[in-house]
Structure 1
Amino acid sequence: MSFVAIDFETASGYHPCSVGIVTVENGQIVDEFVTLIQPPNNSYNPHTIQVHGIHPRDTQYAKDFGEVFPEIQKRLQNQIVVAHNENFDRNVLIKSMALHGLHYEDLNIPNRWECTLKIYRSKGFKPAKLSDCCRVMNIALNHHEALSDARACAYLYLLR
């Protein structure tokens, strides 16, 4: 089983401030990538800071999405992509790419990703938030830290 699990943390709306990507080949994690991303104007919604603890001071010297995209692209291109709430993370990617003049179709990935939220809901998990699924499945999680969330999503997908 080979796929890529991804998680974005956002500063406001669909503007990412961090991304975590875990690459799985033949059921084993073979690569992990995480980086901060400077959102447009380094602007944050105070609520998102409370959620993930990333502040404007943390991203004031970070690369913007366009500068980080080559690392994202080389991991996602032509892959099966998994996220815990795929609709949210996919929209962050699509909207950020569009903002930088990049075309989602060029990644050659599906328009709908694999979604561990939907998978675990269908298994009867209530609630099926990432933290709840990880607690039940005994998966370590530092929730709202992009790499930890992506890694947890990968494990949930492997255990489905």
Structure 2
Amino acid sequence: MSFTAIDFETATGKHYSACAVGIITVESDKIIDEYHSLIQPPNNEYSWYNIKIHGITENDTVNAPLFCDVYPEIRKRLTGKTIVAHNESFDRSVLQKTMLYYDLDYSGLNLSNQWECTLKIYREKGYSPASLDVCCKKQGIKLTHHEALSDARGCAMLYLKQNI
């Protein structure tokens, strides 16, 4: 199985406010690449609610690259791949809206309109709740929840274990 798992954290409720990304590349059932970056959101603006969830603050991203600066790394890992996310509609929306904000062409990534979703997969398996942390715990997957790279890795492992 070959695919790419992705997770975004956002600075505010606006989906174009990505402040961290984690990407795991899997080929032939093995993780072959991991990528993580903090991202300075527009105006380095944060909401207290989002900070409470992931712990990333303005101080963490004041010198971080903008999305357009990390985009080449994201593009090379996503283009033409099967993409997996936990709650894929959220992460897909963050990618699309952040790319739109920076005037980048989403269609150039050649991605499916709907990604693979471990949240849906594990709900269908009867997990309730089917949040990433609960699914990972039940599957024995180590997770630091709401840390983008750890969440992407957890999602990748869940996707690999879906038929076990």
Structure 2 partner of 1:73: 75
SS class of match (2:152): helix
**In structure 2, what residue type is equivalent to 1:6?**
I
SS class of match (1:92): helix
Aligned equivalent of 1:29, options 28, 31, 38: 31
Could you state the TM-score of these two structures normalised by the residue count of structure 2? 0.97
Aligned residues with identical type, % of pairs: 57
SS class of match (1:70): helix
Structure 2 partner of 1:139: 141
SS class of match (2:11): strand
Could you state the TM-score of these two structures normalised by the residue count of structure 1? 0.99
CA distance in 2, matches of 1:91, 1:106: 16
Displacement of 1:103 in angstroms is 1.4
Structure 1 partner of 2:7: 7
Structure 2 partner of 1:20: 22
Displacement of 1:22 in angstroms is 0.2
Aligned equivalent of 2:58, options 56, 59, 63: 56
Structure 2 partner of 1:113: 115
Say if 2:125 is the partner of 1:123.
Answer: yes
SS class of match (2:107): helix
CA distance in 1, matches of 2:66, 2:47: 17
* Structure 1 runs (4+) greater than 6 angstroms displaced: none
Instruction: Encode CA deviations 1:68-98: one digit per residue, 9 max, x unaligned.
Output: 1000000000100000010000000000000
Aligned CA-pair RMSD: 0.4
CA distance in 1, matches of 2:137, 2:116: 21
CA distance in 1, matches of 2:105, 2:42: 19
**Unpaired runs of 5+ in structure 1?**
none
CA distance in 2, matches of 1:116, 1:159: 10
Structure 1 partner of 2:90: 88
**Unpaired runs of 5+ in structure 2?**
none
Displacement of 1:104 in angstroms is 1.1
CA distance in 1, matches of 2:112, 2:104: 16
CA distance in 2, matches of 1:104, 1:41: 23
Structure 1 partner of 2:48: 46
